[in-house]
Amino acid sequence: RVQLVESGGGTVQAGGSLRLSCVASGFDDPRYCMGWFRQVPGNERAGVAAVDSDGEAKYSDRVNGRFTVSRDNAKNTLYLQMHDLKPEDTAMYYCAAEFCTGTDPWWLLKQQEYTYWGQGTQVTVSS
């Protein structure tokens, strides 16, 4: 059974950094895209950053240049390095995965296209 387990959330002051991790297990096929999404109460879950099965990354405009997504296939782990955090980055961050082939699928940052989800990790940025 597929499982995604996030860690690394916490509280940080504006301008600080955090690194989130997501360990995946249960995939029989290594060809899957993975992404980070975030959600605040009352809003839809929004795409933050994602990588296709070849490691090509895509970012939302709100985090481009501040966040870096990467994956270590040997460890089945997805990372999100976040720098220059802002109060508006405060949210529950979720890891997601979906089988994919090819590069840069159009749905890479579309949460409704992902089947597998972690339980989330809270990131709070104080001003």
Length of the chain: 127
pLDDT surpasses 90 at 104:
no
Q: Are 23 and 76 in contact (CB under 8 A)?
A: yes
Residue 47 burial (10 A CB sphere; 0-12, 13-18, 19+):
buried
- Write down the pLDDT at residue 54: 87
Q: Of 80, 83, 74, 75, nearest to 96 (Cα)?
A: 80
pLDDT digits (tens, 9 = 90+) for 61-97: 999 999 999 999 899 999 999 999 999 999 999 999 9
Tokens found for residue 26: 């249960």
Strand, helix or coil for residue 19? strand
pLDDT at 80: 98
